[in-house]
Structure 1
Amino acid sequence: MGRRTPSVLIVGSGISGIGAAEKVHKNGFQNIRILEATGRTGGRIRTQKFAKGLAEMGAQWIHGPSPENPVFQLSSQYNLVGPDALREENQKVDVGGHPPDIPVIYSSSGKEINPTLVENVTNLYYEWLEKSRNFTKDTCSPDDSVGSFMRREILRSSKEWNKDVSELNMAILRALLNVECCVSGTHSMDHVALCPFGEYTMFLGLDCTFPKGYESLVNRIKANLPNDTVLLNKPVKRINWNGSFQGNDSNAHPVRVQCEDGDTFVADHVIVTVPLGFLKKHADDFLSPPLPPSKKQAIKKLGFGTMNKILLEFEKPFWDPNTTYIQLVWEGDSPLTESQKDLRKHWVKKLSGFVVLDPPGQLGHVLCGFMAGKESEYMETLSDEEVVSSMTSLLRQFTGNPELPPPISILRSQWHSQPYTGGSYSYVAVGSSGNDIEVLAEPLPKERNAAKPLQVLFAGEATERNFYSTTHGALMSGWREAQRLIDQYPELGAAVRKAKL
């Protein structure tokens, strides 16, 4: 290929693609283009105006904001997080991936449940969840799920429960499993593989948010790139690789990317950062020559689910000023029975609860409901009016106040119906393993030599074995692939270092 300036195309402008571009650019690569299918950058980081301030439609928190977390490192460096997040004691808290708040708990009969009644069963639940992370492939069956493991633990313990607490405990456990579906981005914990569950790594630190919105981070990284780097509304139709394509520079390049609008771009390398949900739909025809069978299998086997948010703004709060989370418990529900199939009638039952968004003074009085799975996908098909009406009925039922005023505005995410996303984030599904994530991350061609160098690289949260489904995982994956390219051209980095001297 000679030692001319290498050209790099990046498909997708989420934090993975933007992060990769910034890193190669910093290391001397000049010829970089990002092709973005939609009219905006940020991918599954999406900050929108709502109520009196900003709301996150995608990534919400920095999970584990401590020095090991690259999203936190950058955000601190760029001065994008609040003073609390920077306090050392907050960076050392171990929340185990769950908020440590004491929720206000309502039951479907309109009563508030005393948190101490809930505490014992909640503690048991978290113990079991912790246990479910301790399996290795030698100690569990490859077709076992986190859901079936939890049911076995519930059955074992429930034998000792008094009849008067048993029903409530079961209903609480069902509510907690609904929360877990949101964390894992799955319809049911029965879909989440047990053996590799513990490979998912959590950083220490009390989850925190961005005062100026999560997109402030993407915009800050993007500001380090030349202005014309990102091309918006450029959906990619096909990536041709392993070829010899003439560019305007009269050189031959191994990669040619065709866009839906007929435009084509040639390059030496392409980094594909599209969501796994998109690959699941287009794995067969997105690349030519097609993806190797092992990669197609990995794409098919890994899980990719939907988790949506419903934000409701109220004129006045009906909750106490100290409330941070409102949990909903459906009486009579149990994790040991199948969930209702009639989505039209029962979709609201999957809503695990509402986070009270803060700071209230800035945003107004806003609740954010979380919901995963098929019910969440069904919710996307409804109109705003239908969702407001369902939410109003739900809150009236649970608070026991038939006069509760409806919300004054609503905003919700619809990740499943986004054509270039097809859901929210990945998980390791039953039948797949962390190895599938590694296979997905492998660059092409598999057999590389001087005549056939690195051509197609893969990044995005679904390619990070220990940090899938997270923003920091997405950023790390972009940096990982950028580093692969940097290692191929040591003379570029050397020139940059020399220029700085």
Structure 2
Amino acid sequence: MEGGGRRRVVVVGAGLAGLGAAQRLRSHGSLRLLEATARAGGRVCTRPFASGLAEMGAHWIHGPSPGNPVFLLATHYGLLGPKAAQEENQQVEAGGHPPLPSITYGSSGRVLSPQAVSEAHVLFDTLLASARACQGAEEPLVPSVGQYLRAEITQRVPALGGGEEDARQLQLAVLAACLKLECCISGTHSMDLVALEPFGEYVSLPGLDCTFPGGYSSLPDCMVSALPEGTVLLNKAVRTIRWRGSFHEEGDETRDFPIQVECEDGDTFLADHVIITVPLGFLKERHQDFFQPPLPEQKAEAIRRLGFGTNNKIFLEFEQPFWEPQQQVLEAVWEDESPLKEPSTDLEANWFKKLIGFMVLQPPEQHGHVLCGFIAGKESEYMETLSDEEVLSTMTCVLRTLTGNLHLPAPRSMLRSQWHSAPYTRGSYSYVAVGSSGDDIDVLAQPLPEDLEDPRPLQLLFAGEATHRTFYSTTHGALLSGWREAERLNQLFDAPSPAPQL
């Protein structure tokens, strides 16, 4: 086997998967990381807003504990606050999204009964746990998580709210809000699109979710700085990856390469191996012309079947808070809604009702008085088409409706994410859709050519959150997938992997 030092590797995409792969291949002689946009980080993107920072993409380290490589790397670089390092915080089994002190507003402009809200949340969490327990079922009764939850809720309707009609309707409205929250967590338009049987394969790590005091982007920034200068090339969008070929550099006929990476600006890079870390949303839209020859049918099918949805954020800055200092979440419930009613398809009239509410950015001394709203699915994609003024005015109306204060001052500024419109992303993150399974994730992760006896193995390798069977949709899944593919190459080169920077 030719030594690793003379073999050329190109990594496409400088998100955490691409940077993780580059990190593990950094002792390697010839490595280039091509990033389509003007910055590294991918779906990790911190922007200044108000007096602090806004996380446009990844927000938390989910499950910051020794099993989480993002937590270990962030600790290694000294990027986390003292609280995240506390051992008791790392041992809490929080199930991925620990509850925060909250207040729930109804669309009638009143604060809803904490007891009624809590009862509905407990019921929803119980039903969600039973949906996860369907994993491994031979023939699940229904294909989707949404259908399963609706069937379970229907059975319980007579007992909801103690059998009293108004109380029952309120519980149903809160359950409808819980479903919207789950859409945000799963990155989907509707839980009817999320497959039931594989739903329980996703693994939540222990630890209380934590954030980066200096912004999530401080992590990719450190990773880039640790690479040899000139490794990462920004504004280098790839147009086509030609593989299974025989390409030569001008004036050198002695060395032929199986891959030519052609960029949109006309530059080309020859390589022995390419690690592709682009988002699944981009692959869904572009895989047919992105790879020449096209991908094998089995991989193309996996790309088509797996789900990839949009979850956006809307940040609002206020002169003064209208919420109490202890409140960290303002939940929104539309009191006429129910999970058993067909949702409206009129996006123009109702898009804002998909908003689950707002989180208060902490601490206010750092951020100012800022709320961060979360909205998923088609409504979220519709929001991207509106002007800043339209979104700001709609948010003002929503908050006046919920609080019952028709004179609530409008926010002084707004910032929002637009992940679906981003041409190299086309959404937020992956989920296992109805009609697909965890096997599709494994197929997506499988290198090409498939024949291990091929004289030129591992030409195309695939990484990114959508290629990790149990940690899809997370930054730690992305990072681990990048390390996994780098290790594949290091084994091929018989090169000792550089000690991980942990």
- Normalising to structure 1: TM-score of the pair? 0.96
The 8 Å contact of residues 52 and 368 in structure 2, kept in 1 or not, is answered as yes
- 8 Å CA contact retained: 1:10, 1:270: yes
Match of 2:358 among 351, 354, 357: 354
Match status 1:461 vs 2:465: yes
The equivalent of 1:156 in structure 2 is 155
Counterparts of 1:209 and 1:460, CA distance in 2: 21
Asked if the contact 2:246–2:259 (Cα under 8 Å) also holds between the matched residues in 1, the reply is yes
The match for 1:22 is 23
Partner in structure 2 of residue 447 of structure 1 = 451
CA distance in 2, matches of 1:439, 1:234: 27
The one-letter code of the counterpart of 1:349 is K
Q: Which range is displaced more, 449-458 or 365-374?
A: 449-458
Cα distance in 2, alignment partners of residues 186 and 138 from structure 1: 23
* Counterpart code for 1:20: A
Asked if 2 retains the 8 angstrom alpha-carbon contact of 1:461 and 1:468, the reply is yes
Partner of 2:172 in structure 1? Answer: 170
1:119 alignment partner in structure 2: 118
Q: Distance in 2 between matches of 1:170 and 1:117?
A: 10
Q: Which residue of 1 aligns with 2:50?
A: 51
Q: Which residue in 1 is equivalent to 2:62?
A: 63
Structure 1 residue 16: deviation in Å?
A: 0.5
Q: Output aligned runs, 1:479-490, within 5 Å.
A: 479-490=483-494
How many angstroms does 1:220 deviate by? 0.9
8 A contact 2:101–2:326 mirrored in 1 = no
How far, CA to CA, are the matches of 1:450 and 1:396 in structure 2? Answer: 65
- Please tell me the root mean square deviation across aligned C-alpha atoms, in Å: 1.4
Note if 1:493 corresponds to 2:492: no
State the match for 1:399 in structure 2. 403
Q: 2:370 aligns with which of 366, 370, 380?
A: 366
Deviation at 1:140, TM superposition (A): 3.6
Which residue does 2:313 correspond to in 1?
A: 309
1:474 aligns with 2:462: no
Superposition map of 1:205-220 within 5 A: 205-220=207-222
Q: CA deviation at 1:90?
A: 0.9
| Number of the residue aligned with 1:78 | 77
CA positional deviation for 1:143: 5.9
Cα deviation, residue 450, structure 1: 5.8
Instruction: Tell me the distance in 2 between the aligned counterparts of 1:2 and 1:153.
Output: 59
Deviations 1:303-339 (A, max 9, x none): 0000000000000000000011000010110001111
1:424-453 Cα offsets, whole Å, 9 max, x none, are 000000000000000000000000236222
> Segments of 4+ in structure 1 off by > 4 A?
none
Give the secondary structure class of the aligned counterpart of 1:295. helix
Determine if contact 2:21/2:486 at 8 Å carries over to the other structure: yes
- Code of the aligned partner of 1:113: L
1:208-255, Cα deviation, whole Å (9 max, x unpaired): 000000010111111111110111111111111111111366511111
Q: CA deviation at 1:160?
A: 1.8
CA distance in 1, matches of 2:93, 2:415: 32
Aligned partners of 1:243, 1:230: CA distance in 2, in Å?
Answer: 25
Residue aligning to 2:237: 235
- The aligned residue for residue 389 of structure 1 is 393
Residue type at the aligned position of 2:218: S
Structure 2 distance, partners of 1:80, 1:243, is 44
Asked whether the equivalents of residues 347 and 382 of structure 2 are also in contact (C-alpha less than 8 Å), the reply is yes
Q: Give aligned pairs, total.
A: 493
TM-superposed deviation, 1:138? 3.1
Q: Write the distance in 2 (CA, Å) between the matches of 1:88 and 1:227.
A: 36
Distance in 2 separating the partners of 1:315 and 1:138 = 53
Query: Is the CA contact 1:426–1:468 (under 8 Å) kept in the aligned structure 2?
Result: yes
Q: Secondary structure at the match of 1:105?
A: strand
SS in 2 for 1:196: helix
1:177-216 aligned at under 5 Å gives the runs: 177-216=179-218
Q: Partners in 1 of 2:474 and 2:207 — Cα distance?
A: 15
- For residues 337-356 of structure 1, the C-alpha deviation after alignment (integer angstroms, 9 at most, x for no partner) is 11111111100000001010
Q: 2:142, 2:99 → 1: CA distance?
A: 32
* Residue matched to 2:437: 433
Question: What's the CA shift for 1:5?
Answer: 1.4
SS in structure 1 of the partner of residue 289 of structure 2:
coil
CA deviation vs aligned residue, 1:448-484 (integer Å, no higher than 9, x gap) = 2362221100000000000000000000000000000
Residue 256 of structure 1 pairs with residue 256 of structure 2: no
Separation of aligned partners in 1, 2:347 and 2:99: 31
1:109 aligns with 2:108: yes
Instruction: Using the aligned pairs only, state the percent identity.
Output: 57
Measure how far apart 1:114 and its partner are: 2.1
For residue 348 of structure 2, what is the aligned residue in structure 1?
344
Q: Which residue of 1 aligns with 2:30?
A: 31
Task: Classify the secondary structure of the residue corresponding to 2:219.
Answer: helix
One-letter identity of the residue aligned with 1:170: L
User: SS at 1:411's partner residue?
Assistant: strand
SS in 1 for 2:370: strand
Q: Distance in 1 between matches of 2:260 and 2:22?
A: 18
Q: Cα distance, 1:142 vs. partner?
A: 8.4
8 A contact 1:353–1:370 mirrored in 2: yes
Deviations 1:168-194 (A, max 9, x none): 000000001100000000000000000
- 1:137, distance to aligned residue in structure 2 (A): 3.9
Contact 1:417 1:423 in 2 (8 A): yes
> Which AA in structure 2 matches 1:169?
Q
Matched residue, 1:12 = 13
Q: Which position in structure 1 is the counterpart of 2:425?
A: 421
Alpha-carbon displacement from aligned partner over 1:350-406 (angstroms, at most 9, x marks no partner): 000101011110110000000000000000000110001000000001000011000
Partner of 1:99 in structure 2?
98
